[in-house]
Amino acid sequence: MSRAGRRRLALALLVPALAAPLLAQARELLAVGAQFERVFEYQDNGEYGGLGAELLRLMAARTGNTVRFRMVPWARAQAMLVQGQADILIGPYKSPERIASMAFSEKPFYQDQMALYTRQDASFGWDGDYSVLKNRRVVLLNGWAYGSDWERVRPGLQVSVANNVENGLKMLVHNHVDVFVSNRRNTDPVIARLGYARQVKPLPRVVDVQNGYFAFPRSPAFDRLRLQFDQEFNALIDSGELKKLGRRFDVTLP
């Protein structure tokens, strides 16, 4: 065999050898979450949509991976991530407990306004003074993080827990509670869907502003994946693609 032929043969053998480690690292990722309006939704056609799902598809493709989705109750989705049964959690807010058990993406991908919802005939308002809630029945959502102020006042409140936004609204409408605490993005579309616009209202003062992130298991084995996704997310910001997707899904960006 000529020298040129031997060189071509060596290159032909070398290229697959170099590609093998890259192919071995590519895999199907499992992303979990709960029904979050416009962030992670199960659609009528059986597909998953929303800003979070779309971003994960883009970032998975750009890192040589694929992604499949699973929707479960929110508390269970968090437990799956912490226990290493999932690769990515879609949309958690930060809290001290979560920071201790999850590794968050460098930057958030959406932002929510937290609000107090009451019945339309409720006679009280809210000016930021939590003491007005002391003698009122409050419903919160299971597994949600409401911020340090809520954690401080929660022990002094009459708190019930609902598993989803629809149940929280129904508890309010049927007078089982006086106040429902949720975010506008998740809650306003459900109010419209249930036909509750004449029965329920958000109080005008915003309770808090929360940013939503992607989270990964805290194991060092996931550090590379998280850093790759951070890099691709920054590229989506720099290119303006994130802003376009935010408009497309009608989601407020941080």
- What's at 248, amino acid-wise? R
Rounded to whole angstroms, the Cα distance separating 237 from 139 reads: 36
Rounded to whole angstroms, the Cα distance separating 15 from 60 reads: 24
27 pLDDT band (50/70/90 cuts)? confident
Rounded to whole angstroms, the Cα distance separating 143 from 151 reads: 13
Structure tokens at 1: 């065999």
Which strand (E) or helix (H) includes residue 166? helix 165-173
Using alpha carbons, select from 57, 209, 201, 102 the residue that is nearest to residue 147: 209
Rounded to whole angstroms, the Cα distance separating 87 from 93 reads: 17
Tell me the CA distances in angstroms from 121 to 130, 135, 219, one per residue in order.
20, 17, 50
Contacts (Cβ under 8 Å, ≥6 apart) of 20: none
DSSP 69: E
- Reported as a single tens digit per residue, the pLDDT across 86-118 is 999 999 999 999 999 999 999 999 999 999 999
- Reported as a single tens digit per residue, the pLDDT across 57-90 is 999 999 999 999 999 999 999 999 999 999 999 9
- Reported as a single tens digit per residue, the pLDDT across 196-252 is 999 999 999 998 999 999 999 999 999 999 999 999 999 999 999 999 999 999 999
DSSP 93: P
Contacts (Cβ under 8 Å, ≥6 apart) of 205: 116, 125, 126, 127, 128
Per the model's pLDDT, the better-predicted residue between 14 and 47 turns out to be: 47
- Reported as a single tens digit per residue, the pLDDT across 160-199 is 999 999 999 999 999 999 999 999 999 999 999 999 999 9
- Reported as a single tens digit per residue, the pLDDT across 157-167 is 999 999 999 99
Which strand (E) or helix (H) includes residue 115? strand 110-119
Provide the CA 70 distance to its chain's centre, in angstroms: 13
- Reported as a single tens digit per residue, the pLDDT across 116-162 is 999 999 888 888 888 889 999 999 999 999 888 888 888 989 999 99
